[in-house]
Amino acid sequence: MGKPKTKEPSGRDKRRRINAAGFDQVYKIGLWGRDAVANDGFFSGPGSVGAAAAAYVQALVAEFSDQPGLAAVDLGCGDFRVGSRIRSLFDGYIACDVAPSLIERNNGKYADLDVDFRALDITSDPLPAANVALCRQVLQHLSNADIRFFLRNLRKTSYRWLVLTEEHPAGDFVPNQDSTTGPNTRLHLEPPSGVVLTEPPFDLRPVDSKVLLEHPVPGVGIIRTTLHRLTSE
């Protein structure tokens, strides 16, 4: 009698495993830098501290502080330095990241903030329910194929708003030049590029959109935060 066949992992399972291992490694070896204050090895890069982070927090306070009763899902919460500063804007808050070690750390570090931290791959796992989806400097690290998987998952939700933050080159550029999933962004391409979900090959069609913030990054470009309203309700 032969041995039972081992079930092959699905493409979704393989993608989740590869992405989880890859971004766990990013934090383990400090590819995005180190924070001397926290000194725990988990740092999501300069965009999570300083003027860029402060400007983002101010923009969200201006947009959502007068809208009580909202629940938010943070799709790619990173080290949660920024998330911890906007947690109080929302009644409920789910924070997701693909790196399991990071989620374990966040669960301990921010246990007093009443946040539901989840290890989740936005390209392969069902997205949690909420009114507002926050996706801050996440898609810039994904390939076009992985972004398409994310958009497929997004279409299955009933989010009212998507708050999307991406690094873009200053001035005119060709959007969505493909890159590999990993620590780098499209600013490292030649010529530099950036993710724009309303431009080909992507097909996000929001009810309306407005730019909440454009924060300059000297010598690099801008960090643009756009509010996409996904439903008319």
| Domain boundaries of the chain, sorted by first residue | 51-229
Considering only CA atoms, give the Rg of the chain.
18
Q: Are 175 and 196 in contact (CB under 8 A)?
A: yes
pLDDT of residue 137: 95
β-sheet bridge partners, residue 210:
227
Where the chain has pLDDT below 70, the residues are: 1-10, 31, 35-40
Q: Which residues in 73-82 are b (16+ Cβ under 10 Å) and which e? A: bbbbbbbbbb
How far separated are the first and last CA of the chain, in Å rounded?
60
What CATH architecture does domain 51-229 belong to? 3-Layer(aba) Sandwich (3.40)
For residues 134 and 161, give the distance between their C-alpha atoms in angstroms, rounded to a whole number: 8
Q: Are 175 and 194 in contact (CB under 8 A)?
A: yes
**The pair of three-digit structure tokens given for residue 22, joined into one six-digit string:** 């890859």
pLDDT of residue 9: 59
DSSP 8-state assignment for residue 181: S
